[in-house]
A and B are shown apart, each in its own frame.
Chain A
Amino acid sequence: MSATTVPVFVSTVKPQHRPGIVGVARSEWTKIRSLRSTFWTFLVTAGITVGLGCLFALGRTSGRAREPLSANFNAAGFPFNAMFLAQLAIGVLGVLIITTEYSSGMIRTTFTAVPQRGLVLAVKAVIFGSVTFVVSVATTFVTFFASQAILSRGTVKYGVSLSSPHALRIVIGAALYLTVCALLGVALGALLRSTAAAITALAGLLFILPIMMNFLPVSWHRDAIAQWLPSNAGMQIIEKTTQPLQFSPWAGLAVFAGWVAVAFVAGLVLLRRRDV
């Protein structure tokens, strides 16, 4: 090499603020809002919750099904059984938010820009969870008022008002349930990194496991076990009364959130340790 002097590089471009949690939050918000698929998935989730909820209400009040319902009928919570489909849609979006970063290779840019991987995952989950909760609350309120209007048609009015016992808890709780489903998707995505694997796991946990339980022998204490399953426990939040071998509403939601927390912590630990 010739002995020419090398100029010392001095950058003229300075960051406007310190990188850290605020910068990461802005970045993750930009990522979420800049995809049209985010908007469409939220719309589908809201649409099927409201639509199926009204359909369920209609089914209970029309034609031959219109036999007298028991006094114990859970008018406020019943339409929210329709969330069985919406939970999957929002969970899949949670999965995609992280697995598409892996499939495109974007994750390496993300972790090059912010080497604190745990911070990235946590902020991603908080931002996405917050957006999901806002959309879900709007959705569950619309579902509630629309389905109760349908239930109140005819001579016997089953519909209840928001001020009736448990109604507000059920409406807010249903939104929380959808939010936890979304976060389960994020946790599974971080854990498994592959879209196909994470969606399979999501459907397995929320859908297939509860169905399989019904085919186990009763002598295996299947009901005692089944109450611990994520969706079984979480869906207690829309119940009016607590049956034996079932969690109370908030305890059930807490069990579901516990599952998600375990998956999330496992995802965090692996994320920090694994090569990307």
Chain B
Amino acid sequence: MIETHELTKKYGDTVAVDHLTFRALPGRVTGFLGPNGAGKSTTMRLILGLDGPTSGSVTVNGTPYRRHHYPLHEVGALLEARAIHPGRSSYNHLLAVAQSNGFGPRRVRQVLELVGLENVAGKRAGAYSLGMGQRLGIATALLGDPGVLLLDEPVNGLDPEGIIWVRNLLKALAAEGRTVFVSSHLMAEMALTADHLVVIGRGQLIADTSVADFVAGASNGRVRVSSPDCLRLRQLIAEQAAEVSPIEAGVDGESPAFTVSGLERRAIGDLAFHHGIVVHELTSEAASLEEAFMELTAGDVEFRAHDPNQPADVQVVPVAATRKDLNL
């Protein structure tokens, strides 16, 4: 279990982590989400005792990291891919790390096999691809067979097969009762991998919730209505003081459609029935994780391209576009 309490880190006037309190519990994958510059990597370094907090505290399994006798046996960490001397082979890299915590060559060969690097173990790491570097980083994290895993963007640079492999590995590790704490900026990946989310923006906690609740909480409450008699239905709904979108023409013989916000799906169905209007589609639009995230962190993005024609506040991504972008 990882536990932070009012954890704060300042660099001069910049507050990287701001009174952050959360827990990552064993037996589940906790996704650590936030826009770039939100303080994810700083938090990870604070957990590992690499950076000292300005104030507040953080413990792993109830003990500050630096006081663990067998650190690699307690916590395995992947902070950055290819954090290895380019002239050293992955076997020797892993051996050097293993030896410092009392593990030997046998364990090194086990983790090399586990991540599928056994055939390139003697090659100089400088020749590795980013994906191979990530696998080596994961092997390093698993060396001590730790109960807590801390992974910073582990799927960066991996091919689709590698992404699925990491996803299944993380789930399997959590199912064994381990604490798996994984940061990512890929919301879709987290939706598939994580059970629980800790979302931060500008160093502050935005949400600490299950994935399902996170999406529901940020749901936009829009209903999509499709009917051959869109004009009349839209007029009736608008009279109920609900907001209606312009009508989209139907494609491939589908009826035209529009979206409604401010009126429940059931109420729209009843309304159509009372006025004898045929309805072909009546669906609540669930916000994607991406959208929910954008909505929650809209005010908390550290770096943003400035568009003078847009108000600087909320930018809602159209659902259709989001789905397509994510290949869901």
Contact = CB atoms under 8 A, between A and B. Distances in A.
A12 B51 contact: no
Interface string B80-115: 101111111100110111111111100100100000
A275 B51 contact: yes
Given A19-B69, A24-B100, A7 B27 contact: yes
B50 A19 contact: no
Contacts of A108: 45, 48, 50, 79-80, 83
Interface stretch (B172-180, B296-304, B317-325): B172-180
A11 B146 contact: yes
Contact of B50 (A8, A35, A111): A111
A36 B126 CA distance: 13
A31 interface: yes
B85 A106 contact: yes
Interface in B44-99: 45, 48-52, 65-66, 68-73, 75, 77, 79-80, 82-89, 92-93, 95-99
A27 interface: yes
A153 interface: no
A22 to B, nearest CB: 9
B99 to A, nearest CB: 4
Contact of A9 (B45, B71, B80, B147): B147
A9 B177 contact: yes
Contacts of A8: 26, 177
B295 interface: no
A1 interface: yes
Contacts of A109: 77, 79, 83-84, 97, 140
B74 to A, nearest CB: 9
Interface in A245-276: 273, 275-276
Interface residues of B, number: 56
Given A7-B27, A16-B102, A106 B210 contact: no
B145 interface: yes
Interface string A8-46: 111111011111000110111011001111000000000
B144 interface: yes
A114 B102 contact: no
A15 B73 contact: yes
Contact of B102 (A10, A12, A17, A35): A17
B96 A16 contact: no
Interface string B148-188: 00000000000000000000000000011110000000000
B145 A13 contact: yes
A11 B87 contact: no
B51 A113 contact: no
Contact of B71 (A10, A37, A112): A112
Contact of A275 (B50, B69, B87, B210): B50
Interface string A95-131: 0000011001110111111110000000000000000
B70 A19 contact: yes
A124 to B, nearest CB: 11
Nearest to A12: B145
A276 B26 contact: no
A36 B87 contact: yes
A100 B79 CA distance: 17
A113 B85 CA distance: 16
Contacts of A13: 103, 107, 110, 144-145
Given A11-B147, A13-B144, A24-B100, 5 more contacts: A11-B146, A18-B102, A23-B100, A109-B83, A109-B140
